[in-house]
Amino acid sequence: MKNKNYNWFYWVAQLGGWGLYLGLSIFDDFARGRITAYNSLYTFLVIISGLLISHLFRFIINREKIISKPIQQQILLLLLMVACGALLQSASHILISIFMRTAEVKTLNFSVAVLTYVTWFIIFMLWMMLYLFYQYVERARSKFINELKMTAMRNEMELTNLRTQLNPHFMFNSMNSIRALIDENPANAKTAVTKLAALLRSTLQLSKRNYISLKEEMDIVNDYLYLEKMRFEERLEFSFDIDHDMREIKFPPLMLQTVVENAIKHGISKLTQGGSITISAKTENDVHVIRVINTGKLERTGEDNRGIGLLNTLKRLRLLYGKNANVELYEKDNLVFSELRIPVKH
């Protein structure tokens, strides 16, 4: 498709440019009162010769890959081509004049030949500059597009790697929850296995997509919290506060799930009396803010308290939404806040 579009544009520009030259030449003859079919044919033949020579330039440039050569070689080769092309076109111009016995033959001398050569040298030099300008712009655009494609491929590979890290983490946590139920409450363990099977099926289907709606993600989170509720019983309470217009926003799959797991693992499971988890989603100042608020204390593990799960979440957000996306983790009034901040796309 690219070659077809390029050839189409080239021929439109080529025929349009030489056609404009033909039109201006005929208008000049008309203004001087010497417009005849004979003169117009003569001008047409001269321009056909110029079109063929300029097309030959293009053939040589592409065949010899002149634009890929060092700049000094490019300049020398292109000047040589223009000089030879102007000489060839001047000779054609004069030969057509002699063959058609135009008025120009009577005034033909060395000075006229030199002037003809200089005129065509300038015309072909302008043609060459325009053609090269387009070539350089096209090469720069192609390079930019290729770089974008390479970046997208690298990002996709990194996102795939991150997802492969998240899925086993989620599965092992869920199976550990069920294992704890087997001895305590076999009936609940059986129900949990059924829930887990349905949950894993939907998780595997959704994880193949780059984006899902927040509503779909919340279905997974709700099933996961149901499983954890069976394990923790009265030690775990959870609630949701999701703005209605947030439910359909596009969201990377299993990202919120990871944050909720993190709240269970580092928060609720370490509290003897248990605690609560609240998930809220609102739009604040052109930013989608999704908060997971859990009872507990923030563990001080160093300068950055975000663990592997949250750091992976941050990487995914930055890859998909740019540097303005963020994951924040902080403590306030015996509550730990995990915030996903996603810029609104306008």
- Structural domain ending residue among the three candidates 147, 177, 198: 147
One-letter identity of residue 21: Y
Is 138 contained in some domain? yes
Provide the CATH number for the domain around residue 209: 3.30.565.10
First CA to last CA distance, the chain: 31
> Structurally, how many domains does the chain consist of?
2
Specify whether 194 is located in the same domain as 331.
yes
Mean pLDDT of 247-266: 84
pLDDT of residue 100 exceeding 70 = no
Is 164 contained in some domain? no
Specify whether 203 is located in the same domain as 330.
yes
pLDDT of residue 153 exceeding 60 = no
- pLDDT the model gives residue 282: 93
Specify whether 265 is located in the same domain as 339.
yes
pLDDT of residue 89 exceeding 90 = no
Residues 6 or more apart whose Cβ sits within 8 Å of residue 210: 159, 252, 253, 320
Cα separations in angstroms, 295 against 224, 225, 282: 18, 15, 20
pLDDT tier for residue 150 given thresholds of 50, 70 and 90: low
pLDDT of residue 256 exceeding 80 = yes
* 29 vs 198, more confident: 198
Contact 221, 173 (CB under 8 A): no
pLDDT of residue 324 exceeding 90 = no
Q: Which domain holds residue 273?
A: 185-343
Lowest mean pLDDT among 104-118, 127-141, 157-171: 157-171
Is 172 contained in some domain? no
pLDDT of residue 290 exceeding 90 = yes
pLDDT tier for residue 171 given thresholds of 50, 70 and 90: low
Specify whether 123 is located in the same domain as 189.
no
Is 257 contained in some domain? yes
pLDDT winner (highest mean) among 7-16, 95-104, 291-300 = 291-300
Mean pLDDT of 48-53: 88
- pLDDT the model gives residue 304: 59
Is 128 contained in some domain? yes
Pairwise CA distance, residues 192 & 178, whole Å: 6
* Residues of the chain above pLDDT 90, percent: 12
- pLDDT the model gives residue 105: 53
Specify whether 235 is located in the same domain as 136.
no
Specify whether 101 is located in the same domain as 201.
no
Specify whether 207 is located in the same domain as 330.
yes
Specify whether 204 is located in the same domain as 329.
yes
pLDDT of residue 46 exceeding 90 = no
Of all helices (H) and strands (E), which one includes residue 19? Answer: helix 2-31
pLDDT of residue 106 exceeding 70 = no
- Structural domain ending residue among the three candidates 91, 121, 147: 147
Most distant CA pair in the chain, distance: 115
Of all helices (H) and strands (E), which one includes residue 240? Answer: strand 236-242
Residues 6 or more apart whose Cβ sits within 8 Å of residue 140: none
Alpha helix (H) ranges present in 32-109? 37-63, 71-100
Pairwise CA distance, residues 170 & 200, whole Å: 9
Specify whether 234 is located in the same domain as 286.
yes
Specify whether 334 is located in the same domain as 213.
yes
pLDDT winner (highest mean) among 107-111, 186-190, 288-292 = 288-292
Is 157 contained in some domain? no
Mean pLDDT of 317-325: 81
pLDDT of residue 269 exceeding 80 = yes
Is 176 contained in some domain? no
pLDDT tier for residue 185 given thresholds of 50, 70 and 90: confident
Contact 293, 337 (CB under 8 A): yes
Specify whether 193 is located in the same domain as 143.
no
Is 56 contained in some domain? yes
Mean of all residue pLDDT scores within the chain: 80
Residues 6 or more apart whose Cβ sits within 8 Å of residue 106: none
The DSSP call for residue 344 is P
Task: Phi first, then psi: give them for residue 61, nearest 5 degrees.
Answer: -60, -45
- Structural domain ending residue among the three candidates 147, 172, 198: 147
Specify whether 32 is located in the same domain as 121.
yes
The DSSP call for residue 270 is G
pLDDT tier for residue 305 given thresholds of 50, 70 and 90: low
pLDDT of residue 1 exceeding 50 = no
For the beta carbon of residue 331, count every other beta carbon within 10 angstroms: 14
Contact 214, 257 (CB under 8 A): no
At 318 the three-state DSSP class reads helix
Q: Which of 326, 327, 328, 322 is nearest to 345 (CA)?
A: 322
pLDDT of residue 276 exceeding 90 = yes
Determine whether 77 is exposed, middle or buried from the number of CB atoms within 10 Å of its CB (0-12, 13-18, 19+).
middle
- pLDDT the model gives residue 261: 85
Contact 279, 260 (CB under 8 A): yes
Contact 185, 207 (CB under 8 A): no
Alpha helix (H) ranges present in 233-327? 255-266, 308-321
Of all helices (H) and strands (E), which one includes residue 183? Answer: helix 110-184
